Amino acid sequence: MSPEPAANTLSKTSCDDKPVEKQNRRIRSFLGKFGLSLAVILLFVILSVTAPNFVTARNMINVLRQVSFVGIISCGMTMALIGAEVDLSVGSVVALTSALLGVLIIKLHIPIPLAIVVCLAEATIVGIFAGYIRVKWEIPGLIVTIALMLSLRGVAFVLTNAYPIPITDEGFAFLGGGYVAGIPFPAIIFILTIALFGFVSTRTVYGRSVYAVGGNAEATRLSGIPIRRVRIMMFATTGLLAAISGVLLTSRLSSGYAGVGVGWEFDCISAVIIGGTSLFGGEGTIFGTLLGVLFIGLLGNGMVLMGVNPYLQDVARGVIILAAVILSAMQRTKTSE
């Protein structure tokens, strides 16, 4: 067997570690771990100085509620991206949930709790369906969910004839607009979701399997982990979370409307990517996603308060996503050297 020269040079360089390089690496790994936290804090400080009325309790609560809708879905999207999948249908699931709620509650007079359960179940089943197609025919989840993105929104518009259906019920309005101990109810759901998924991703067999599938699906399959089930589960999760977010949003808007949630899939993916999750799977944290969600939320809020042109706001978001991805790519190539 001829020896592997590559392996030899590799071990050589790690022996020749210079102290300066070591320090650089330490700085890099520090920035890798805490860079985003620092960025969020820095952004917060800058905005408190520059943006009018930024540091007020009312504004903070506002931001918290605003980020929750996308934030809840982002938890599922984080799992999907870690598992080297992506779900582009979440925005349309939000829309379908909203439309369906309107139809069920107002037109069919179904009790609200039951209507909600039906919506959540429907979205979960659609997710399982997407995952099943993904694993059954080995079609990239990207394609499957693009198809769903189109057709689910179509269904939502057909169901409602493209009209918003007003839902006026005080109990229902609480879900999106109510407060518990001064915290908006959606934010509480968001925080619980973050906690739950933080736990799931790090401490459960399922979470570990997601990382493994995203890191090396073949090795994972060979280790006797049911990777098809894991993959289907990822799509079921994004579906369910999108529906939960859809229920909260519908309540907040007091109407079921098929035009909501446009572009949310990209808002979610942006937050997850800014949060340091790899687009190629295998790496990422829920905590990072929390920071990513906060970063985008604070930035958007700050720009609104400062009266930045809405189109320029989009430009800024785009630039930041690009910067985040380039930074993580640089870190990856540096550490693998």
Partner 1 sequence: MNAAPILQAESISKSYPGVLALDCVDFALAEGEVRALVGKNGAGKSTFVKILSGATQADGGTIKIGGERISIRNPSDAFASGIATVYQEMSLILGLTVAENILLGHWPMKRRFVVNMINTAETIRVAREALEMMELAIDPKAVVRSLSLPQRQMIEIAKAIATKPKVLILDEPTSALPTHEVDELLALVRRLASKGVAVIYVSHRLQELPRVVDSLTVFRDGRQVDTLPIAEATPERIVHMMIGSEWKRKQAAIHQVSDTVRLSVANLERKNRLHDLSFELHSGEVLGIAGLLGSGRTELLRAIMGLDPVDSGCVFVDGERVNRPSPLKMKRLGVGMTPEDRKSEGIVAMMSVCKNLTLSCLDKVSWRDMISISRERLLAQKMVESLSIKTPHLDAEAKSLSGGNQQKLVIGKWLNSQVRVLLMDEPTRGIDIEAKNQVYELVRDLAAKGISVVFVSSEMDEVMEVSDRILVLNGGRIAAIVSTADTTIERLLTISMSEAR
User: Residues in the site for partner 1, rule: CB under 8 A?
Assistant: 1-5, 7-8, 11, 203-206, 208-209, 211-212, 215-216, 218-226, 282-283, 336
CB of 211 to partner 1, least distance (A): 7
CB of 84 to partner 1, least distance (A): 12
Spatial CA neighbour of 64 closest among 161, 191, 192? 191
For residue 259, what are the contacts with CB-CB under 8 A and spacing of at least 6?
95, 157, 162, 164
CB of 273 to partner 1, least distance (A): 17
CB of 222 to partner 1, least distance (A): 5
Q: Which is nearer to partner 1, 184 or 281 (CB)?
A: 281
Question: Distance from first CA to last CA of the chain, Å, rounded?
Answer: 26
CB of 275 to partner 1, least distance (A): 17
For residue 288, what are the contacts with CB-CB under 8 A and spacing of at least 6?
36, 78, 272, 275, 276, 277
CB of 335 to partner 1, least distance (A): 9
Q: Which is nearer to partner 1, 8 or 309 (CB)?
A: 8
Q: Which is nearer to partner 1, 225 or 247 (CB)?
A: 225
Report the C-alpha gap between 32 and 276 in whole angstroms.
9
Q: Which is nearer to partner 1, 325 or 332 (CB)?
A: 332
Report the C-alpha gap between 47 and 40 in whole angstroms.
10
Alpha-helical runs (H) found in 254-285:
264-274
- The kind and range of the H/E element at 237 are helix 227-253
Residue 72: both structure tokens together? 């809840």
Q: Which is nearer to partner 1, 168 or 336 (CB)?
A: 336
Cα 313 to chain centroid, rounded: 20
Largest CA-CA distance found in the chain, in angstroms, rounded:
76
Q: Which is nearer to partner 1, 68 or 209 (CB)?
A: 209
Q: Which is nearer to partner 1, 151 or 216 (CB)?
A: 216
Instruction: At 165, give phi and psi (nearest 5°).
Output: -110, 110
Report the C-alpha gap between 95 and 154 in whole angstroms.
10
CB of 132 to partner 1, least distance (A): 17
